[in-house]
């Protein structure tokens, strides 16, 4: 990089740019190859039989391109119900996390009060708690309060485990908001609470979607919490997608590769659609944010 | 006791606080609504299964629809499942709330099952069977395995009954002019002959915790060389795994590993791959339990043909105290009834299962259980019949290497099994590590 | 203005929901669990007071030492990999791909979407030696090298784990840091460009300082995530061969639930939490002195 920089101002700018772009283009191509290959591998895998998995090389193409048995089997295992459960648990939790997290981050960074550093550290402490440790007490509490057997334990635990990171990140993003914005609003007679809604949140839109995206994938891919709180008391119908994926594992950890991958492909397809949708919003948020500058 | 009540009180206080908090946070955060009503009435018969084991679940629904339809109709089956990896955790959490489902698997580790029984969470099976008029429903051989595994008590049901031994590929042995080895040394010689001919002698799995089939070889060597009680002496602290006789067993297996009899990379092989290696004719011998019959009898998996597979009892060790007619046996993952869920429904179900489980499992799933088979099942595959005969004729049985060990020692043994098979740790190192966890 | 920003009622309204959720569902159970460090037993047997016995065991337990060493090694390697590669990706998005980075961002982000089960299956197959050589070993053979059993020794298994987790999460850190970088006003960068700063110098003198808050939070987040690693290692190697790749979390989970010693498990968790705390405080020292003041 440095060598390119010092390669003289004499050269026309455009040519210099092309020079720089060539290796970069190659790097991006390699990067994409590394990232896209597994997608392809997954999809090809979802068309293979167990025999092909065990006895043919990993990169071999499926023997029958129209072999959708795995998808049929994956669908029959109740993946649609699992998807609904995941959505019912993750989205409400996500909404709460983002709104409460943004509010708290705002209170901790924009508002001025004694002890806010301590409270921020307290939240930060949450990132350090291994979630295996809170399972036993929470299980007791949920059981005693008769929440076991519903999706509530999942939603509540997701909210609590998602908050520390969200609050911390929101506080970080809030630092970048110019304080003059609020001063102007205050002079116009708006309360801070109003300012948070009408100025803070819109300015934070970009951050909100980024954090929301990050949290979405954490919650969507969670296995430990879902496993602990959804099954075990006669409530298999509460299984989430990740728990459902385990049903393709046989005794001694034998995996039925084809149906597993078919189920993963369906799962990935849905998350990908969601991601593309959210990604659009992030771009919109960015352009909205550009107004502030 | 004082501690227990103090703990209860503290739990109650905390639970109250948290419940209060939950209510506050619910209204505060304003989450969305979710589905579902609280748990149903007492009348149902709940079962906590595992996604990894589908046999028990399907036998339960078969008997509920068929032979027991009238007796258990008032107590509908409600099953849920928990993956094997987190099953023990779930049992502890549920037991802590005294909320175990009526029918459960008796934990991954026997020591946890014994703890559950000692804590009064599990029903005594011999009493319960007598109460429902089904005494004698469990085969004596299965009962003796269960009793020796669980400290002399019977609080489990043998949903499976397996024998273990060495399965061999008849064709490969014939091609290389190898007769059935009767001793460990003859088996070693056969392995060498196959290895020289470029054939992988033994298929084993050793990745992650799959190394248990390697430690089975160590355990059986010990039973053959030091006698059937050799490992219970270790469990009782009367002998140590680091004693020379025990170390010799691990060294014998490690030597096989160093000689490459287990293939190039046992630590990279999982259960499915090891099974597949044998069933596609790429290895001559395979140590496994008779539950593998389900795969052996499945033409999609078995490409060498069921007729081509023979069963070899684990061979003698020259000069040893044990003998090859002491068959390694186990009850798979036994079932247990919880006291919390033991009412009229569970009794009706127990009576039904005692009567029908053996027959249905054998007929529909090809699974040999420790229950008496009350209706003879015709048209069984030849291998299955052969195994049944061996079970019927075995004078006595032995358990397996880790059967009586603590959970720590079990994990250590099974995760190090792969390294032993690879020959990358010595037998002495292996035994040191396991003994250290036995305390 | 000061008065408006210090309004107690507003602060309470903004902060309370998050703080209450978090305290009750995470902090309280954690403190509850930490109480068990002075007890021995489990929910089945009941607990009995053991004083400091668990801490004594901790000091003399070679397995905990081994697991701690592995955890630290893993956390350092993977954190450096994740954050450095993620930062390079973010720079790539912002300064070279600019507005057209959407597709690349999506694709590189993609592995985060994949369930752990899928990723570990993929890497097992990529690095396979039996029954067939996987792609990695095939490439080695192409260059005349011997096939390697990647899961046969602790060092090699560690390499695969680290590669897997870096591959998996660098796109995530790319997006995380990207959100921080796009907030740098364009005119700041333009004026630096006009001053003759380009490439590396621009990055070091302007971009790095301006993005440091986000970088620090990514670093903290990454360290805390990697110190608590559980799923990916459990799925890929199960802690093996032997226990050579067992992190503290796996050791704790086994101790608490498989070995039925919840008290000692809680003690190991406390060790882990303290590690996270120390590292986080150390990272903070250099960056946000206001929090620790």
Q: Map out the domains of chain B with their CATH numbers.
A: 45-156+332-369 (3.40.190.10), 165-327+399-438 (3.40.190.10)
Joined tokens for residue A66: 């129209």
The span from the CA of B317 to the CA of B326, in Å, is 13
Residue C279 lies in a domain: yes
Strand-pairing partners, residue C238, are: none
Range of the domain at C254: 62-292
- Res. A223: pLDDT tops 90: no
Q: How many Cβ atoms sit within 10 Å of the Cβ of residue A199?
A: 18
Inform me whether the C-beta atom of residue B86 falls under 8 Å from chain A C-beta atoms. Answer: yes
Of B36, B270, B301, the CB nearest to A150: B36
Of C17, C32, C147, the CB nearest to B14: C32
Inform me whether the C-beta atom of residue B89 falls under 8 Å from chain A C-beta atoms. Answer: yes
Phi/psi of residue B416, nearest 5 degrees:
-95, -5
Joined tokens for residue A70: 């795995």
**Domain tally, chain C:** 1
The span from the CA of B245 to the CA of B240, in Å, is 10
Shortest CA distance from B49: residue in chain A: A232
Question: Measured between beta carbons, which residues in chain B are less than 8 angstroms from residue A254?
Answer: 270-272, 275
Chain A: nearest CA to B321, how far in angstroms? 32
Buried b (16+ CB within 10 A) or exposed e, A65-94: eeeeebbebbeebbbebbbebbebbbbbbb
Shortest CA distance from A222: residue in chain C: C115
- Res. A252: pLDDT tops 70: no
The model carries a pTM of 0.85
Contact (Cβ atoms closer than 8 angstroms) between residue A153 and residue C286: no
Ranges B60-74, B279-293, B368-382, C188-202: which has the least confidence: C188-202
Inter-helix orientation angle A205-220/A257-292, to 10°: 170
* pLDDT in the model for residue A1: 36
Subunit contact B96:C44, Cβ cutoff 8 A: yes
* pLDDT in the model for residue C211: 81
Inform me whether the C-beta atom of residue B80 falls under 8 Å from chain A C-beta atoms. Answer: yes
β-strand B77-81 against B45-49: which pairing, if any? parallel
Q: Which of A159, A157, A171 is nearest to A103 (CA)?
A: A171
The span from the CA of B178 to the CA of C291, in Å, is 76
Q: Going by C-beta distance under 8 Å and a sequence separation of 6 or more, which residues neighbour residue A11?
A: none
Burial (CB count within 10 angstroms: exposed 0-12, middle 13-18, buried 19+), residue C146: exposed
Q: Is B286 helix (H, G, I), strand (E, B) or coil?
A: strand
Distances (CA, A) of B325 to A5, B285, B313, B394: 81, 19, 7, 6
Question: Measured between beta carbons, which residues in chain C are less than 8 angstroms from residue A217?
Answer: 112-113, 172
- Res. C181: pLDDT tops 70: yes
* pLDDT in the model for residue B4: 44
Contact (Cβ atoms closer than 8 angstroms) between residue B176 and residue B410: no
Burial (CB count within 10 angstroms: exposed 0-12, middle 13-18, buried 19+), residue C147: middle
Highest mean pLDDT range out of A166-170, A215-219, B377-381, C75-79? C75-79
- Res. A209: pLDDT tops 60: yes
Subunit contact C125:A58, Cβ cutoff 8 A: yes
Chain C: nearest CA to A173, how far in angstroms? 8
- Res. A189: pLDDT tops 90: no
Domain extents in chain A:
2-45, 72-292
Of C46, C253, C260, the CB nearest to B4: C46
* pLDDT in the model for residue A281: 62
- Res. B313: pLDDT tops 70: yes
Subunit contact C186:A293, Cβ cutoff 8 A: yes
Query: CATH says A72-292 is which class?
Result: mainly alpha
The span from the CA of B315 to the CA of B325, in Å, is 9
* pLDDT in the model for residue A124: 84
Contact (Cβ atoms closer than 8 angstroms) between residue A243 and residue A82: yes
Q: How confident is the model at residue A251 (pLDDT cuts 50, 70, 90)?
A: low
Q: How confident is the model at residue A245 (pLDDT cuts 50, 70, 90)?
A: confident
Using a pLDDT cut of 70, give the percent of chain B over it: 90
Subunit contact A127:C117, Cβ cutoff 8 A: no
Subunit contact C131:B273, Cβ cutoff 8 A: yes
* pLDDT in the model for residue A16: 56
Q: How confident is the model at residue B12 (pLDDT cuts 50, 70, 90)?
A: very low
Q: How many Cβ atoms sit within 10 Å of the Cβ of residue C286?
A: 9
Question: Measured between beta carbons, which residues in chain B are less than 8 angstroms from residue C15?
Answer: none
User: For the segment B208-227, what is each residue's pLDDT rounded down to a tens digit?
Assistant: 778 999 999 999 999 999 99
User: For the segment C107-139, what is each residue's pLDDT rounded down to a tens digit?
Assistant: 888 788 788 877 888 888 889 887 778 888 988
- Res. A21: pLDDT tops 70: no
Question: Measured between beta carbons, which residues in chain A are less than 8 angstroms from residue B272?
Answer: 54, 250, 252-255
Interface test with A, best of C118, C164, C233 (most A CBs within 10 A): C118
The span from the CA of C154 to the CA of C168, in Å, is 21
User: For the segment B283-307, what is each residue's pLDDT rounded down to a tens digit?
Assistant: 999 999 999 998 999 898 899 999 9
Query: How many residues are present in chain B?
Result: 439
SS3 content of chain B, % helix, strand, coil (to 5): 50, 15, 40
Of C24, C258, C260, the CB nearest to B22: C24
Q: How confident is the model at residue A233 (pLDDT cuts 50, 70, 90)?
A: very low
Q: Going by C-beta distance under 8 Å and a sequence separation of 6 or more, which residues neighbour residue B10?
A: C35
* pLDDT in the model for residue A17: 56
Q: What is the CATH number of the domain that holds C101?
A: 1.10.3720.10
Of A146, A155, A254, the CB nearest to B271: A254
Contacts for B87-90 with beta carbons within 8 Å, 24 or more apart? B87/B50, B88/B112, B88/C257, B88/C258, B89/A135, B89/A228, B89/C253, B89/C257, B89/C258, B90/A228, B90/A231, B90/A232, B90/B48
Q: How confident is the model at residue C65 (pLDDT cuts 50, 70, 90)?
A: very high
- Res. A168: pLDDT tops 80: yes
Subunit contact C115:A264, Cβ cutoff 8 A: yes
User: For the segment B332-361, what is each residue's pLDDT rounded down to a tens digit?
Assistant: 899 999 999 999 999 999 999 999 999 999
| Residue A255 per-residue DSSP state | B
Q: How confident is the model at residue A64 (pLDDT cuts 50, 70, 90)?
A: confident
DSSP states along C241-262:
STTTT--HHHHHHIIIIIS--H
User: For the segment B20-78, what is each residue's pLDDT rounded down to a tens digit?
Assistant: 444 434 433 333 333 333 333 457 899 998 888 888 988 999 999 988 988 888 899 98
Residue C10 lies in a domain: no
* pLDDT in the model for residue C197: 67
User: For the segment A78-133, what is each residue's pLDDT rounded down to a tens digit?
Assistant: 788 888 899 899 999 999 999 999 999 999 988 888 888 889 889 988 888 888 88
Buried b (16+ CB within 10 A) or exposed e, B334-353: bbbbbbbbbeebbbbbbbbb
Residue C27 lies in a domain: no
Chain A: nearest CA to C60, how far in angstroms? 22
Phi/psi of residue A217, nearest 5 degrees:
-70, -35
What is the pLDDT of chain A when averaged over all its residues?
80
- Res. B19: pLDDT tops 50: no
Question: Measured between beta carbons, which residues in chain C are less than 8 angstroms from residue A34?
Answer: 167
- What is the maximum span of chain C, computed from C-alpha positions, in angstroms? 74
The span from the CA of B407 to the CA of B21, in Å, is 38
Contact (Cβ atoms closer than 8 angstroms) between residue B415 and residue C238: yes
Joined tokens for residue C249: 């979390």
* pLDDT in the model for residue C216: 84
- Res. C63: pLDDT tops 70: yes
Contact (Cβ atoms closer than 8 angstroms) between residue B157 and residue B335: yes
Contact (Cβ atoms closer than 8 angstroms) between residue C163 and residue C126: no
- Res. A14: pLDDT tops 90: no
Chain B: nearest CA to A150, how far in angstroms? 6
Inter-helix orientation angle B407-422/B244-258, to 10°: 40
The span from the CA of B412 to the CA of C239, in Å, is 11
Of B51, B78, B90, the CB nearest to A232: B90
Interface test with C, best of B9, B20, B25, B209 (most C CBs within 10 A): B25
Chain C: nearest CA to A66, how far in angstroms? 22
Q: Which of A265, A256, A246 is nearest to A52 (CA)?
A: A256
Joined tokens for residue A198: 């009408």
* pLDDT in the model for residue B163: 94
What is the pLDDT of chain B when averaged over all its residues?
88
Inter-helix orientation angle C208-227/C62-91, to 10°: 150
* pLDDT in the model for residue A13: 52
Question: Measured between beta carbons, which residues in chain B are less than 8 angstroms from residue A100?
Answer: 29
Highest mean pLDDT range out of B202-211, B232-241, C212-221? B232-241
Q: Going by C-beta distance under 8 Å and a sequence separation of 6 or more, which residues neighbour residue C263?
A: C36, C37, C38, C39, C40, C41, C47, C50, C54
Distance of CA A153 to the CA centre of its chain: 20
Inform me whether the C-beta atom of residue B93 falls under 8 Å from chain A C-beta atoms. Answer: yes
Handedness of CA B216, B221, B227, B232 (dihedral sign): negative
Q: Which of residues 100-129 of B touch C (CB under 8 A)?
A: 108-109, 111-112, 115-116, 118-119, 121
Tokens 């089960």 found at: C117
Subunit contact C253:A210, Cβ cutoff 8 A: no
Shortest CA distance from C132: residue in chain B: B273
């Amino acid at each position: 990089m440095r060598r390119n920089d010092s390669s003289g101002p004499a050269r026309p700018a455009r040519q210099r740019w092309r020079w720089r772009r060539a290796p970069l283009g190659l790097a991006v191509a390699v990067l994409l190859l590394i990232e896209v290959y597994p997608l392809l591998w997954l999809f090809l895998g979802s068309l293979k039989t167990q025999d092909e998995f065990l006895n043919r090389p990993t990169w071999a193409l499926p023997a029958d391109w129209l072999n959708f048995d795995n998808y049929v089997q994956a669908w029959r295992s109740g993946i649609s119900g699992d998807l609904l459960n995941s959505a019912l648990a993750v989205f409400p939790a996500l909404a709460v996390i983002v709104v409460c997290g943004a509010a708290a981050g705002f209170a901790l960074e924009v508002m001025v009060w004694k002890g806010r550093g301590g409270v921020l550290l307290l939240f930060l402490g949450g990132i350090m708690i291994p979630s295996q440790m809170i399972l036993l007490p929470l299980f007791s509490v949920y059981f005693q309060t008769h929440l076991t057997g519903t999706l509530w334990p999942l939603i509540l635990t997701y909210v609590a485990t998602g908050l520390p990171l969200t609050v911390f990140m929101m506080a970080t993003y809030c630092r970048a908001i110019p304080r003059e914005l609020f001063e102007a609003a205050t002079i116009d007679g708006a309360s801070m609470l109003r300012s948070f809604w009408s100025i803070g949140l819109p300015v934070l839109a970009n951050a909100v979607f980024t954090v929301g995206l990050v949290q979405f994938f954490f919650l969507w891919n969670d296995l430990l919490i879902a496993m602990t709180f959804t099954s075990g008391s006669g409530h298999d119908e509460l299984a989430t997608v990740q728990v459902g994926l385990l049903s393709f594992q046989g005794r001694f950890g034998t995996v039925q590769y084809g149906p597993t991958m078919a189920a993963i492909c369906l799962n990935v397809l849905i998350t990908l659609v969601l991601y593309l949708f959210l990604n659009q919003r992030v771009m919109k948020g960015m352009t909205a944010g550009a107004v502030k500058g | 006791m004082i501690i227990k009540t103090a703990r209860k009180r503290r739990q109650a206080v905390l639970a109250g606080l948290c419940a209060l908090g939950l209510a506050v946070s619910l209204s505060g955060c304003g989450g969305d609504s979710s589905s579902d009503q609280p748990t149903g009435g007492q009348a149902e018969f709940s079962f906590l299964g595992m996604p990894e084991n589908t046999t028990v679940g399907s036998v339960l629904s078969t008997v509920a629809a068929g032979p027991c339809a009238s007796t258990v109709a008032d107590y509908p089956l409600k099953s849920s499942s928990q993956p094997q990896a987190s099953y023990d955790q779930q049992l502890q959490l549920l037991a802590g709330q005294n909320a175990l489902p009526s029918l459960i698997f008796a934990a991954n580790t026997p020591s946890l099952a014994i703890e559950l029984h000692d804590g009064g969470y599990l029903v005594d099976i011999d009493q319960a069977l007598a109460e429902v008029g089904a005494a004698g429903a469990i085969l004596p051989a299965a009962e003796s395995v269960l009793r020796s595994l669980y400290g002399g008590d019977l609080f489990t049901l043998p949903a499976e009954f397996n024998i273990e031994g060495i399965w061999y590929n008849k064709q490969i042995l014939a091609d290389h002019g190898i007769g059935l080895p009767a001793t460990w040394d003859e088996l070693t010689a056969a392995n060498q002959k196959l290895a020289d001919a470029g054939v992988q002698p033994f298929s084993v799995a050793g990745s992650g915790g799959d190394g248990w089939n390697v430690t089975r070889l160590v355990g059986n060597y010990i039973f053959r060389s030091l006698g059937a009680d050799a490992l219970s002496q270790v469990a009782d602290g009367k002998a140590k795994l680091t004693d020379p006789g025990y170390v010799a067993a691990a060294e014998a297996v490690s030597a096989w590993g160093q000689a490459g009899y287990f293939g190039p990379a046992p630590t990279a092989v999982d259960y499915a791959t090891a099974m597949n290696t044998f069933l596609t004719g790429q290895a001559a011998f395979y140590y496994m339990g008779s539950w593998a019959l389900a795969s052996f009898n499945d033409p999609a998996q078995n490409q060498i043909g069921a007729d081509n597979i023979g069963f070899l009892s684990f061979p003698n060790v020259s000069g040893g105290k044990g003998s090859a007619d002491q068959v390694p046996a186990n009850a798979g993952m036994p079932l247990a009834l919880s006291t919390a869920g033991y009412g009229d429904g569970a009794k009706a179900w127990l009576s039904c299962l005692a009567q029908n489980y053996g027959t249905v499992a054998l007929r529909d799933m090809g699974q040999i259980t420790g229950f008496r088979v009350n209706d003879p099942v015709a048209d069984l595959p030849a291998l299955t019949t052969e195994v049944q005969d061996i079970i019927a004729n075995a004078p006595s049985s032995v358990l397996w290497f880790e059967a009586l060990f603590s959970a720590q020692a079990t994990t250590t043994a099974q995760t190090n099994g792969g390294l032993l098979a690879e020959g990358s740790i010595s037998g002495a190192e292996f035994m040191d590590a396991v003994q250290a966890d036995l305390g | 203005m000061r008065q408006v920003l210090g309004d107690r009622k507003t602060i309470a309204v903004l902060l309370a929901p998050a703080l209450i959720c978090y305290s009750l569902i995470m902090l309280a159970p954690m403190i509850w669990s930490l109480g068990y460090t002075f007890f021995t037993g489990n929910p089945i047997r009941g607990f009995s007071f053991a004083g400091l016995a668990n801490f004594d065991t901790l000091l003399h337990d070679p397995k905990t030492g081994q697991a701690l060493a592995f955890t630290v090694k893993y956390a350092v390697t993977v954190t450096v990999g994740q954050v450095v590669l993620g930062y390079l990706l973010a720079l790539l998005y912002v300064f070279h791909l600019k507005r057209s980075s959407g597709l690349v961002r999506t694709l590189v982000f993609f592995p985060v979407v994949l369930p752990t089960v899928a990723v570990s299956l993929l890497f097992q197959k990529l690095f396979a030696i039996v029954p067939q050589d996987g792609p990695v070993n095939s490439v080695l053979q192409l260059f005349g090298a011997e096939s390697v059993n990647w899961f046969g020794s602790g060092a090699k298994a560690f390499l695969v784990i680290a590669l897997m987790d870096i591959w998996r999460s660098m796109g995530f850190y790319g997006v995380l840091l990207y959100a921080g970088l796009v907030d740098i006003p364009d005119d700041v960068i333009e004026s630096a460009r006009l001053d003759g700063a380009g490439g590396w110098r621009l990055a070091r003198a302007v971009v790095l300082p301006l993005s440091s808050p986000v970088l620090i939070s990514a670093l903290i987040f990454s360290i805390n995530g990697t110190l608590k690693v559980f799923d990916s290692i459990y799925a890929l190697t199960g802690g093996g061969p032997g226990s050579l790749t067992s992190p503290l979390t796996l050791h704790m989970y086994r101790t608490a639930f498989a070995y039925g010693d919840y008290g000692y498990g809680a003690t190991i968790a406390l060790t882990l939490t303290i590690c996270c705390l120390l590292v986080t405080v150390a990272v903070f020292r250099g960056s946000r002195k206001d929090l620790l003041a």
